[in-house]
Chains A and B, each alone.
Chain A
Amino acid sequence: MTSLASSTSAVSSDLRVALIGNPNTGKSTLFNALTGLRQKVGNYAGVTVERVEGRYRRPAGGEVTLIDLPGTYSLTALSPDEEIALAVLLGQEEDVPRPDVVVVIADALHLERNLFLASQVIGLGLPTVMALNQFDAAEAAGIAIDVPALIAALGIAVIPTVATRGDGLDALRRAIDQARSFPPADLRLPLGEPITAALAPLVAKLEASGLEAPAAHMQALRLLAVPSPEPHLRSVPGVPEAVETARAAVAAAGRDPYRLEAEVRYAWIDEVVRGAVARERPAGRTMSDRLDGVLLHRVWGPVVFLTLLGLVFQAVFAWATPLMDGIESAVSAVGTWVSGAMPDGLLRGLLVEGVIGGAASVLVFLPQIAILFLLLGILEDSGYMARAALLMDRLMRAVGLPGRSVIPLISGYACAVPAIMSTRTIADPKDRLATILVLPLTSCSARLPVYTLLIGAFVPATLVGGVFDLRGVTLFSMYAIGTVMALVMAWVFRRTLLKGPVRPLILELPPYRLPRVRNLLLTVWHRVRLFLQRAGTVILALSVVLWALATWPRTAVSPELPPAAAAEAQLEGSALGHVGKALEPLVRPLGFDWKIGVSIAASFAAREVFVTTMGTIYGVSDPDAESGSLREALISARDPDTGTPAYGALTAVGLMVFYVFALMCMSTVAITVRETGGGMVGAKWAAIQFAYMLVLAWVAAYVVRVVGLANGWGV
Chain B
Amino acid sequence: MLQQWLVLLIVAVAVAYTGRRLWRSVEASRKKKSGGGCGPDCGCGE
Contacts and interface: CB of A to CB of B under 8 A. Distances in A.
Interface residues of A, number: 44
B35 to A, nearest CB: 6
B28 A670 contact: yes
A417 B37 CA distance: 8
B30 A51 contact: no
Q: Which among B26, B28, B40, B44 has the greatest number of chain A C-beta atoms within 10 A? A: B44
Q: Which residue, of B11, B14, B18, B41, has the highest number of chain A Cβ atoms within 10 A?
A: B41
B25 A666 contact: yes
Interface of B: 3-4, 6-7, 10-11, 13-15, 17-18, 21-22, 25-26, 28-46
A670 B31 CA distance: 10
Nearest to A80: B33
Q: Which of B10, B14, B22, B42 has the most CB of A within 10 A?
A: B42
Contacts of A541: 13-14, 17-18, 21
Interface of A: 39-40, 50-52, 80, 84, 94-95, 345-347, 350, 414-415, 417-418, 421, 526-527, 530, 533-534, 537-538, 540-542, 544-545, 548, 605, 666-667, 669-671, 673-674, 678-679, 682-683, 686
A679 B30 contact: yes
A39 B46 CA distance: 11
A678 B29 contact: yes
A697 B40 CA distance: 28
A50 B41 contact: no
Contacts of B39: 538, 667
28 contacts: A50-B44, A84-B33, A346-B3, A350-B10, A350-B11, A414-B43, A418-B42, A526-B43, A530-B41, A530-B43, A538-B18, A538-B41, A541-B13, A541-B21, A542-B18, A544-B10, A545-B11, A545-B15, A548-B11, A666-B21, A667-B37, A667-B39, A669-B29, A671-B28, A671-B29, A678-B30, A682-B29, A683-B29
A533 to B, nearest CB: 5
Given A537-B17, A674-B28, A678-B30, A527 B37 contact: no
A607 B39 CA distance: 15
B34 A51 contact: yes
Contacts of B25: 666-667, 669-670
Given A414-B43, A670-B25, A545 B14 contact: yes
B45 A39 contact: yes
B35 A51 contact: yes
B26 A670 contact: yes
Contacts of B37: 417, 421, 667, 670-671, 674
Nearest to A350: B7
Contacts of B14: 540-542, 544-545, 548
